């Protein structure tokens, strides 16, 4: 037997075995192929879904990070606004305390008037402060209270009087001129002023 005949016999024998196997197990092949197709399809579908889920999670994470960044920005702005409000409020309160103090501050008012008189080259002849009588229904209540200041100034001419009155009006503290009596002959002026303060009692 030649070598070629041996190979041919072996091939024929193998072919017969394959045909025998296929004929015997043919009924199992379609379900097996179907199962393989299903498994490959399921693996492909799950891979696509997994990629989609990963992309969605990544997008959600980015959105959350952006939201946190925006939230932090809002918090920082709110903090700065609160600081600005506190600073402005304190500044306004300081101005209000000068305009309308929380106490009579009679001595301070008298010193300020003396300074105004002196700055205008005038002489203070007389000054007195008192609290005007209040009606019985307003006594012992909180609110805006008054201090009456009477003063007499000498060395006054008309021009200096105008400057003096203008400086009184521009004074930081709230002041009302109630009465004024100017005597050109004696170069004197007498005034009654009301200053105010905020009482909380």
Tokens of 197: 């303060």
Q: Are 194 and 147 in contact (CB under 8 A)?
A: yes
Q: Is the pTM for the entire model greater than 0.75?
A: no
Question: Confidence band (pLDDT; 50, 70, 90) for 32?
Answer: low
What percent of the chain has a predicted confidence (pLDDT) above 70? 66
3-state secondary structure of 196: strand
Tokens of 122: 């005038």
- Alpha-carbon span 160 to 64, nearest angstrom: 72
Of 102-106, 135-139, 163-167, 195-199, the poorest mean pLDDT is in 135-139
Tokens of 19: 């045909």
How many of the other CB atoms lie within 10 Å of CB of 32?
A: 10
Q: Are 171 and 131 in contact (CB under 8 A)?
A: no
């Amino acid at each position: 037997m030649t070598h070629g005949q041996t190979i041919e016999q072996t091939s024929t024998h193998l072919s017969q075995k394959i045909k025998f196997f296929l004929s015997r197990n043919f009924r199992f092949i379609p379900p097996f192929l179907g199962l393989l197709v299903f498994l490959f399809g399921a693996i492909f579908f799950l891979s696509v879904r997994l990629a989609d889920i990963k992309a969605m999670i990544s997008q959600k994470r980015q959105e959350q990070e952006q939201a946190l960044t925006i939230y932090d920005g809002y918090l920082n702005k709110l903090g700065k606004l609160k600081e600005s409000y506190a600073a402005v409020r304190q500044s306004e309160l300081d101005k209000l305390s000068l305009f309308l103090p929380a106490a009579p501050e009679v001595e301070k008012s008298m010193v300020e008037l003396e300074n105004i008189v002196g700055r205008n080259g005038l002489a203070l002849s007389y000054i007195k402060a008192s609290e005007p009588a209040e009606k019985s229904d307003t006594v012992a209540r909180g609110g805006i209270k008054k201090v009456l200041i009477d003063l007499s100034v000498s060395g006054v001419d008309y021009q200096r009087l105008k400057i003096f009155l203008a400086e009184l009006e521009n004074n930081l503290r709230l002041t009302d001129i109630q009465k004024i009596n100017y005597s050109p002959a004696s170069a004197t002026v007498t005034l009654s002023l009301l200053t105010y303060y905020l009482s909380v009692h």
